[in-house]
Amino acid sequence: MITMMISAIENDFQREFITEIYKKYYSAMLKKAFSLLDNTEDAEELVQEVFADLIARVDSVMTVEQKKLPAYLMSAVKYCAYDENRKQSRWHFVDIESEEIGHIPDDGPIPEELYLKTEAIVELKSALEKIPEKYKNLLEFKYILGLSDSELSAKFKISEGAVRTSLMRARRKACSVMREGEENGI
């Protein structure tokens, strides 16, 4: 099915681009999908959806730098895996109004000096590994996939305000983890 979809791309350059993605990353995407869904058929179907989406947005996908493309594709798999009707999905978006979100401390705005320090960026990147998966996923969808607040709002069926608040929480959680690391001498 995927090859048929790719064959239908009229533009030679776009078709070759998507083909290379398929050839190079299909197995990795399938493995990622399987890790999320635990079901072979659903995993294959999911990857098909991802490719259908990539083909639909091929112009913007082609602007993704090659050195970030693998992460982009894995994020795309995770994004497509989220579906309220997909009962085997292993993760779910944290409801902004749920109790869980209420327990996340809000340490206030990120200090301005962080924006000026290159090493802060590296440390924040490391801190991402330690924040809850659902926050990391949200940040991936926003910044790697480049989805807008309205798109995220429609996907997760929450208000745009809730999306912005969740993003803010995710960012500050990363900063909080980074600061804890500094305090503990890590």
Partner 1 sequence: MAYNLSEKAIAEKYEDLLFTKVMALYAEEESKKILSELGEETADPKAVQKLFDKKERSENLRTLWKYSKKILQFAAMVVFVAVVSVSSVVVASAEVRETVAEAIYHLVLEEHEEYTRVSIGESTNFVDPEIYTWDDAYAPTYIPDGYCFDDILDLINQQIVFYKSGDNYFNFKQAKGAGFSYQNTENAELTKTISIGESEGFLIVNNGISTVTWSIDDTLLSVSGTAPTEEIIKVAEGLKPLGNSASEPEEEYTFVDPEIYDWEGAYAPTYMPEGFNFVECVVGLDSHSNTYEYNEKFVIIEQKNKNYATHIDTENAQIVKNIIINNCEALFIEKDGLAYITWGYEDTLFFICGNIKSSEIIKVAEGIKPIN
Q: Which residues, 11 to 70, sit near partner 1 by CB under 8 A?
A: 16, 19-20, 22-28, 30-31, 34, 40, 43, 67-70
Is 94 in contact with 134 (CB distance < 8 Å)? yes
Angle formed by the axes of helices 118-127 and 160-183, nearest 10°: 100
Angle formed by the axes of helices 12-37 and 40-56, nearest 10°: 150
Query: What's the Cα-to-Cα distance from 165 to each of 13, 46, 107, 113, rounded to whole Å?
Result: 40, 29, 14, 22
Which residue lies nearer to partner 1 by CB, 84 or 150?
150
Which residue lies nearer to partner 1 by CB, 34 or 82?
34
Q: Which residues, 68 to 127, sit near partner 1 by CB under 8 A?
A: 68-72, 74, 109-110, 112, 114-115, 120-122, 124-125
CA distance from start to end of the chain: 48
User: Judged by CB under 8 A, which stretch of 80-88, 94-102, 141-149, 155-163 contacts partner 1?
Assistant: 141-149
C-alpha torsion sign, points 42, 48, 53, 58 = positive
Total number of residues that touch partner 1 (CB under 8 A): 48
In the complex, the residues that contact partner 1 under the rule CB under 8 A are 1-4, 6-7, 16, 19-20, 22-28, 30-31, 34, 40, 43, 67-72, 74, 109-110, 112, 114-115, 120-122, 124-125, 128, 139-140, 142-144, 164, 168, 171, 174
